[in-house]
Amino acid sequence: MYATKHVSIGADGVDWPLTFGRVDLFREGPGELAFAVVQYEASVPVEQVPSQLDIAFDAFFDEIEGRDGLLLLTGGFEAGQFDRDKEILVTYTNNKRDQNVDLGARGQWQNFTSSITLGVDHIKTGPDHILFVLALLLPSVLIFAGSRGTGSWHPVEGFGAALWRVLKIATFFTIAHSITFTLAGMGWLPTPPSKIVETIIALSIAAAALHNLRPIFPNKEWNLSFAFGLFHGMGFASLVSDLDISRSSQLVSLLGRNVGIEIGQVVVILLLFPGLFMLRRTPVYRPFLAISSIALAVLAMLWSTERVFEVDLGTDGIVEGFASVPAGYYLAAVFAAVAGGCFLYSRNRDELLPTRSLRQAG
């Protein structure tokens, strides 16, 4: 049986015999497997009352690239007493398939740090979030001057002003994300079906990209970031809302994953921002902004179509080719080098565009 080769439980270096039984399959639609529940029993020597467990789990890690696992343990041993209210969340990744779980010492702090890992990995394997950050990053080094109909983008005056725009975008995303995942985690906000939320997320990427071409909120991109964060928070809350764990453990897990996602987004910003800042004053930046925004909008609309009609148009394969790890790191380094070359070339030819401040944009 597949499970016997990919799950083991034991203590003190000894694996306990596992007997697997009934398998229940749950589907979201005809022919679409959502998840499976496998029942099992472990044969534990009566005299063996461990305070720590050695648990290995790597089901489908080799078959599905970028897969993570979340282990939930309810109950624990502390000073030889079984604690029925104990809840432990443990993260499994491709590089961490074996875990030693201390049933006495682990608490909510460990649950929090374990969930941070899942949040960071979610950015690595969730290119839709990377594309959204990219859509908002593209105009962060520019200022929109003039009216909506006749205005245009211009290079922002200084590094600090451009960085402040990025930080505002990220901060409002965090605020919105925290609001909805807390409300959903407390059960005060109904969690929409994942299909609806994921579709709205894809549409939000398209909206952010099209905003770069015809701004609705010129120089106030944090509005789009806030709106996206609200939907993303609801979608992320649904990942743990169905787990049979206490409300406090759900919130700790949600908070940890949110922090992990923010860490991942900061990494994306730090990788891409230097190249964008160098490129902003060159004559190629505005064509680059237009082409990149159109490409992002097209990809996002394809994603929306896939999620609404449940078809595979190959969008994931296209995006993961440049937004996954480690390919994304290499492309970010190449982009920074090319941007630096373009800046030096334009400066030597005296073609650098003049900058503007927010006061001038008003």
Q: Mean pLDDT across the stretch 326-332?
A: 85
**pLDDT, tens only, 251-268:** 777 778 778 878 888 888
Q: Each residue of 98-134: pLDDT tens digit?
A: 988 877 655 667 678 777 877 787 777 667 778 888 8
Range of 4-8, 69-73, 325-329, 336-340 with top mean pLDDT: 336-340
User: Mean pLDDT for the chain?
Assistant: 80
CA pair distance 299, 84, nearest whole angstrom: 48
Q: Is the pTM of this model over 0.75?
A: no
pLDDT at 335: 95
**Does position 301 have pLDDT exceeding 90, yes or no?**
yes
- Are 133 and 174 a contacting pair, CB within 8 Å? no
**pLDDT value of residue 337:** 96
310 pLDDT exceeds 50?
yes
Q: Which residue has the tokens 């990995």?
A: 121
Q: What is the pLDDT of residue 79?
A: 46
More confident residue, 240 or 15: 15
For the chain, which residues make up each domain, given as ranges? Answer: 2-106, 116-361
pLDDT at position 294: 96
**Average pLDDT in the 12-23 region?**
85
